């Protein structure tokens, strides 16, 4: 059925009607007072969302562009950085840092396991010469549904004193608290098609005073993503290049909606969605890929019951029920399903997804569960 699609993937996420309406008009000139007013309003709300007084700069790019800006502005070739990865997006940080000729020290955990803050702390403690210039990692690892312990890792980085903390918060910002000022996070990257509830195309980078000091010394080549240029323009409510004007309309509307809901309510909603999704799939016989203690608020990864192919589940959910979920990436292809519950997602969406998942399992001839048990477990988690 046309226009019935439910997007339950961890990005792009569904876009509210109000936001779609805001986008559906002619662009306006980006050197007009009218557009500058939008830039100014959005700037205030982005700082609110990041819980910071730091600059939050907007680039025309997907989340990876924001990540790239988060590297090339603060380092010079040969700088030693500790990149910690436990999934697809951690791997992306490693590739990115290597592509720019940084001296990359890699710390890796298996996909599905959280990063070990104390192991990171041990490497930092051993660096008595303070040669490590940055610690780089993913907060919510979308490929595995693992939430890394931002506060604990940050404590070790602060003990080190020299290194910048650089965080991919693409699927944590707007889902769980990322208190930039309280934790003194130096660089935080995010993208529009995740928690922001707008289509892909905008990247966001928050930059601390300490990171700006590093910027002044950094010599990696940069032009389009030179954040200093964005900062100068932002001070005048301008953008250096032609921005995706209509995405700014969307962003203004979505940030207003987020303001209305309130940060605490947004975080509580995602926490409920996470708990209900996990309870629902578990009751149906799925294995939870990430431990309860480190579960992402944005996405739940689960291994299907014995004998059921992950690909068949996604296929039937999509064909019969117009629900789109994600599969595994790289070596997890065909091994897990991933249900996104990020952004414009309500309790109802999770109940419907779990109910459709039950119907899908029945269609696949799986009898190892009591029909209704997934929905019941999800409903109970909502109480
Ligand atoms: C989606 C995502 C990104 C950015 O990917 P793009 O396709 O460039 O938008 C980065 N990190 C994480 C953890 C993500 O989920």
Q: 170 CA distance to ligand 1 centroid (A)?
A: 6
pLDDT at 2: 80
Tell me the two tokens of residue 70: 């988060």
3-class secondary-structure state, position 105 = strand
Closest C-alpha to ligand 1, atom 12: 170
267 in the same domain as 163: no
pLDDT at 192: 98
Closest C-alpha to ligand 1, atom 15: 142
pLDDT at 43: 98
Between CA 198 and CA 162 the distance in angstroms is 36
Q: Is 12 in the pocket of ligand 1 (CB under 6 A)?
A: no
Give pLDDT tens digits for 234-257.
999 999 999 999 999 999 999 999
Neighbours of 30 (CB within 10 A): 18
> Among residues 196, 151, 197, which one has the least CA distance to residue 48?
196
Q: Is 206 in the pocket of ligand 1 (CB under 6 A)?
A: no
Band the pLDDT of 174: cuts 50, 70, 90. Answer: very high
CATH code where residue 64 lies: 3.40.640.10
Residue 200 alpha carbon, nearest atom of ligand 1: 9
pLDDT at 275: 98
Q: Is 138 in the pocket of ligand 1 (CB under 6 A)?
A: yes
Q: Where does a domain end: 244, 260, 276?
A: 260
Q: Residues forming the annotated binding site for substrate? A: 338
Q: What average pLDDT does the segment 163-186 reach?
A: 98
Q: What average pLDDT does the segment 220-227 reach?
A: 98
Band the pLDDT of 1: cuts 50, 70, 90. Answer: confident
Neighbours of 331 (CB within 10 A): 9
289 in the same domain as 157: no
Q: Is 70 in the pocket of ligand 1 (CB under 6 A)?
A: no
Residue 334 burial class via C-beta count within 10 angstroms: exposed 0-12, middle 13-18, buried 19 and up: middle
Q: Is 11 in the pocket of ligand 1 (CB under 6 A)?
A: yes
Q: Is 373 in the pocket of ligand 1 (CB under 6 A)?
A: no
Residue 48 burial class via C-beta count within 10 angstroms: exposed 0-12, middle 13-18, buried 19 and up: middle
CATH code where residue 282 lies: 3.90.1150.10
256 in the same domain as 267: no
Give pLDDT tens digits for 346-380.
999 999 999 999 999 999 999 999 999 999 999 99
Q: 88 CA distance to ligand 1 centroid (A)?
A: 9
Q: Where does a domain end: 200, 228, 260?
A: 260
pLDDT at 140: 98
* In-domain check, residue 2: no
273 in the same domain as 367: yes
Query: How many domains does one find in the chain?
Result: 2
Strand 132-138 versus strand 80-85 pairing type: parallel
pLDDT at 156: 98
Give pLDDT tens digits for 100-111.
999 999 999 999
145 in the same domain as 109: yes
Between CA 33 and CA 208 the distance in angstroms is 28
Q: 90 CA distance to ligand 1 centroid (A)?
A: 10
The dihedrals phi and psi of 235, each to the nearest 5 degrees, come to -60, -25
* In-domain check, residue 376: yes
Q: Is 143 in the pocket of ligand 1 (CB under 6 A)?
A: no
Tell me the two tokens of residue 345: 């997602």
Q: What average pLDDT does the segment 163-178 reach?
A: 98
Give pLDDT tens digits for 67-112.
999 999 999 999 999 999 999 999 999 999 999 999 999 999 999 9
Q: Is 142 in the pocket of ligand 1 (CB under 6 A)?
A: yes
* In-domain check, residue 9: no
Q: 63 CA distance to ligand 1 centroid (A)?
A: 5
Residue 65 alpha carbon, nearest atom of ligand 1: 8
Between CA 251 and CA 23 the distance in angstroms is 9
269 in the same domain as 242: no
Closest C-alpha to ligand 1, atom 14: 170
* In-domain check, residue 7: no
155 in the same domain as 64: yes
Q: What is the pTM of this model?
A: 0.98
* In-domain check, residue 326: yes
Q: Domain range holding 139?
A: 17-260
Give pLDDT tens digits for 133-145.
999 999 999 999 9
Rg (the chain; Cα; Å): 21
181 in the same domain as 130: yes
* In-domain check, residue 192: yes
Q: Is 62 in the pocket of ligand 1 (CB under 6 A)?
A: yes
* In-domain check, residue 6: no
239 in the same domain as 120: yes
- Cβ burial 210-227 (10 Å sphere, 16+ → b, else e): bbbebbeebeeebeebbb
Between CA 168 and CA 186 the distance in angstroms is 11
pLDDT at 269: 98
Q: Is the per-residue pLDDT at 3 higher than 90?
A: no
Q: What average pLDDT does the segment 121-128 reach?
A: 98
Q: 283 CA distance to ligand 1 centroid (A)?
A: 30
Q: Is the per-residue pLDDT at 9 higher than 80?
A: yes
194 in the same domain as 56: yes
Give pLDDT tens digits for 257-309.
999 999 999 999 999 999 999 999 999 999 999 999 999 999 999 999 999 99
Q: What average pLDDT does the segment 120-125 reach?
A: 98
330 in the same domain as 318: yes
3-class secondary-structure state, position 350 = helix
Q: Where does a domain end: 195, 227, 260?
A: 260
pLDDT at 22: 98
Closest C-alpha to ligand 1, atom 3: 63
Q: Is 297 in the pocket of ligand 1 (CB under 6 A)?
A: no
Give pLDDT tens digits for 183-202.
999 999 999 999 999 999 99
Ligand 1 binding pocket mutation candidate from 9, 63, 144 (most atoms within 8 A of CB): 63
* In-domain check, residue 1: no
pLDDT at 83: 98
3-class secondary-structure state, position 54 = coil
273 in the same domain as 173: no
């Amino acid at each position: 059925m046309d226009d019935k699609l439910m997007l339950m993937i961890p990005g792009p996420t569904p876009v509210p009607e109000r936001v779609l309406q805001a986008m559906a008009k002619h662009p306006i000139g980006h050197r007009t007072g009218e557009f500058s007013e939008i830039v100014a309003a959005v700037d205030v709300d982005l700082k609110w969302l990041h819980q910071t007084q730091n600059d939050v700069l907007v680039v025309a790019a997907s989340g990876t562009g924001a990540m790239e800006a988060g590297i090339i502005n603060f380092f010079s070739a040969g700088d030693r950085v500790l990149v910690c990865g436990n999934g697809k997006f951690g791997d992306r940080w490693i590739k990115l840092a290597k592509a720019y000729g940084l001296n990359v020290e890699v710390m890796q955990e298996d996909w599905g396991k959280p990063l070990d803050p104390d192991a990171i702390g041990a490497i930092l403690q051993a660096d008595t010469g303070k040669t490590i210039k940055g610690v780089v990692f993913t907060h919510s690892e979308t490929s595995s549904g693992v939430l890394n312990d931002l506060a604990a890792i940050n404590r070790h980085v602060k003990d080190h004193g020299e290194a910048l903390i650089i965080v991919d918060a693409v699927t944590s910002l707007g889902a769980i608290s990322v208190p930039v000022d309280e934790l003194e996070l130096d660089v935080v990257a995010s993208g529009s098609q995740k928690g922001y509830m707008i289509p892909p195309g905008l990247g966001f980078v928050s930059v601390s005073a300490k990171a700006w000091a590093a910027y002044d010394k950094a010599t990696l080549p940069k032009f389009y993503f030179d954040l200093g240029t964005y900062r100068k323009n932002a001070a005048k409510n301008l953008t250096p290049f032609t921005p995706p004007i209509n995405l700014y309309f969307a962003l203004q509307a979505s940030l207003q909606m987020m303001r209305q809901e309130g940060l605490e309510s947004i975080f509580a909603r995602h926490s409920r969605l996470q708990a209900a999704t996990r309870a629902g799939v578990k009751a149906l016989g799925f294995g939870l890929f990430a431990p309860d203690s480190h579960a992402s608020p944005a996405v739940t990864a689960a291994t299907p019951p014995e004998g059921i192919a992950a690909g068949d589940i996604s296929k039937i959910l999509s064909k019969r029920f117009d629900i789109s979920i994600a599969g595994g990436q790289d070596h997890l292809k065909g091994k897990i399903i991933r249900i996104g519950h990020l952004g414009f997602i309500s309790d109802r969406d999770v109940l419907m997804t779990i109910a459709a998942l039950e119907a899908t399992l029945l269609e696949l001839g799986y009898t190892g569960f009591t029909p209704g048990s997934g929905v019941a477990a999800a409903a109970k988690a909502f109480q």
